[in-house]
Amino acid sequence: MTKALNSGLLQQQPITETLEINYMPYAMSVIVSRAIPEIDGFKPSHRKLLYTMYKMGLLGSNRTKSANVVGQTMKLNPHGDQAIYETMVRLTRGNGALLHPYVDSKGNFGRQYSRDMAYAASRYTEVRLDKICEEIFRGLDKNSVDFMENYDGTMQEPMLLPASFPSILVNSNQGIAVGMASNICSFNLNEVCQATIAYIRDPGFRLLDVLPAPDFSTGAEIIYSPREMEQILQTGRGSVKLRATYEVDKKNGFIEVKEIPYTTTVEAIIDDITELVKSGKIKEINDVRDETDLDGLKLTLDYKKSADPDALMQKLFRFTSLQTTFPCNFNILINGTPRVLGVKAIIGEWLAWRRACVHREIGFDLEKKLEKLHLLRGLEKILLDIDKAIRIVRETGKEADVVPNLMAGFDIDAMQAEFVAEIRLRQLNRQYILQRTADIKTLLDEIADLQATLENRERVDKLITRQLEAVAKKYGQKRLTRLVHEDDVEVLTDHQMIEDFRLRLFLTEHGYLKKLALTSLRSAGELKTKEDDQIIQDLEGKNKSDLLLFSDRGNVYKMKCFEIKDHKPSDLGEYTPNLLSLEEGERIVFIHLTDDYAGFLLFGFASGKMAKVPLSAYETKTNRKKLVNAYSEHSPLVAIHHLLEDTDFVVISSIKKVLVFNSTTVPLKTTRTTQGVQVLLSKKGSKMVSCKRLADSDIIEPQYYRNRTLPAVGSYIRESTLSNRQLGLEGP
């Protein structure tokens, strides 16, 4: 509930009633009178400005100061001068926001593609209406549209402008109202006129064949999707993908961007690139410069010699506003009601409105010709007796009686008599009167033609068609925005965007995982670990490799190596319990990098059993982060080894028994949880405590520890068989 002041007392009022009384009129005022364009292609602010310039005689004349126009416009538009001037700026040729500007300008009006290029004050710039405004105001003086009073009732202004082409589609128009918005992209004038002519001839024509895509004043490229474009043309909603155009100078090592999407600015692109370089996502760029001058936009990128410029641009398209989208929302006021329409529906509404305008123009011409005919009919009667007319005028005593006496003398009405009375003395000759009355036949033919046109819609449509053809011929221009079919556009996947480099991973006993590029590792000193920590495994691979991390709980965690941030030698690395969200007390005991999941894993358990599982058993089609039951948990895990081919291994029991065997004796099982086969037998309750490759052990006489049959207990360690006796005696 809300409270309202009424007769000095506070009264409760339902919030719904308050909204209806106060909020709804405001919302409708914004929608209808400010933010949403109408079928003539203009918002009220645009229309008031252009009409003011038209009444100032700025169509086909010299330019005047913008401040003068702004001041005059305030008679129709009760807003501040700055708001009016900003409206003018967008309509100018200098700003470049429109495909076909309505205002021919002189001076600095900023640029559509620049966020920071400020326009000059209105006292410095000059404007006049552009030539194309002849088509915007065509027929305005022939009662083609309705007029209304301005805000203080001192002037009349048109409710719409009788544009002779669908200007609503030719120039971009954006507006934000209350609860709704409008975002209309621009289309090529030639294509719009041809599409309208095609609609007149056959409303069922295929629009995409005539009007393939929007056209923007900043050029660039549209990534063309026939399916998406068909949706936009039919529904008025969707998005158009735009991307910049560029040229590569490989000799000097730089890229020049000459055209950017309509929806971005040079400064925004530079900000995006700078942020990417600072964050390390882009390393191929040395410098970026805005070299825009009087010749137009130019954004220069200096790239490193080792970089591929085209691949670099693909990255920039992905991460910066060098590639953006234009969101389409064709919301237009039709008879005061906002409606979202497809392009063909907009053309249909425009055509119905334009037919009404042409009807009113023809009706205006017809009325004028009928009036002229009526006057000439009166003049024709004078031809019968000019002397009588002169005598009536000469013999009339008072001037006020001349018209009544002529009416009585020749049986004509007051309008005809007034016309005769206004004829100068030198024109009262037979030749003049015969010449005027000879126009009657021509007038009759013209009147008949106009009446026939009013009664025949086909003739009205032919007139509209001729006007559209004339507009396209006079003002049409080549398409600025080029179309690139989506099938011809190279799109880098997330995986391709990642830089692939050689690296080394280190796993410590306390569960820290450190990732170092080989380039930084070569110049590194001692790798930092915690005081009581040590490296238990290190391996070399690539940044795009899959990383498998096996825990002591029978789980394997999967991730891409590039998902781990790069470290410095002085960093401790990533703490795996946090990185992988490990369970309480769970720790990583083995890691492996792979690109192709080749080879197999050999598991050694405390029970003396060994299991061999293909690495491909851990490959998944989906991007799963965790696989449970990665190996058997029937006995505690002692070691994991990755093999590409079988080799000799050494296992040691808790009572110092040693057994050497080849991994071929362990059969390959496709089931990850296989318990394996018994290799080392237990004696007096002994357990397997170590499993190593023979090549990594200190044993120099392996035959001493081999058994003909497996499983076996093994043999006690003999010092003479060890290359490093002290290490061997200390055990695994």
The residues that are catalytic are 124
Q: Which long-range contacts (CB under 8 A, 24 or more apart) does 288-292 make?
A: 290/266, 292/111, 292/114, 292/266
Token look-up 């049409």 returns: 476
- Report how far residue 584's alpha carbon sits from residue 575's, in angstroms, rounded to the nearest whole number: 14
Q: Let me know the angle formed at the C-alpha of 171 by 165 and 173, rounded to the nearest 5 degrees.
A: 125
Contact between residue 20 and residue 7 where contact means Cβ atoms under 8 Å apart: no
- Whether the link from the prior residue into 25 is cis, omega within 30° of 0, is no
Distance between the two ends of the chain, CA-based, in angstroms?
80
Query: What burial letters (b/e) apply to 4-17, b meaning 16+ CB within 10 Å?
Result: eeeeeeeeeeeeee
Q: What is the 3-state secondary structure (H, E, C) of 578-642?
A: HHHCCCCCCCEEEEEEECCCCCEEEEEECCCEEEEEEHHHHCCCCCCCEECCCCCCCCCEEEEEE
Q: Among residues 335, 405, 372, which one has the least CA distance to residue 146?
A: 335
Contact between residue 214 and residue 185 where contact means Cβ atoms under 8 Å apart: yes
Contacts of residue 51, defined as CB under 8 A and 6 or more positions apart, other chains included, come to 76, 157, 158, 161
Q: Among residues 159, 158, 166, 85, which one has the least CA distance to residue 127?
A: 85
Contact between residue 449 and residue 420 where contact means Cβ atoms under 8 Å apart: no
Token look-up 């401040």 returns: 67
Contact between residue 514 and residue 571 where contact means Cβ atoms under 8 Å apart: yes
Contact between residue 363 and residue 454 where contact means Cβ atoms under 8 Å apart: yes
- Report how far residue 106's alpha carbon sits from residue 554's, in angstroms, rounded to the nearest whole number: 76
Q: Among residues 611, 616, 623, which one has the least CA distance to residue 554?
A: 611
Q: Is the C-alpha dihedral spanning 465, 470, 471, 473 positive or negative?
A: positive
- Report how far residue 300's alpha carbon sits from residue 297's, in angstroms, rounded to the nearest whole number: 10
Q: Among residues 204, 214, 205, 201, which one has the least CA distance to residue 469?
A: 201
Region of 649 (left: φ > 0; alpha: ψ -120 to 50; beta: rest) is beta
Q: How many residues does the chain have?
A: 732
Within 10 Å of residue 81's Cβ, how many Cβ atoms?
A: 15
Query: What burial letters (b/e) apply to 353-367, b meaning 16+ CB within 10 Å?
Result: bbbebbebbbbbbbe
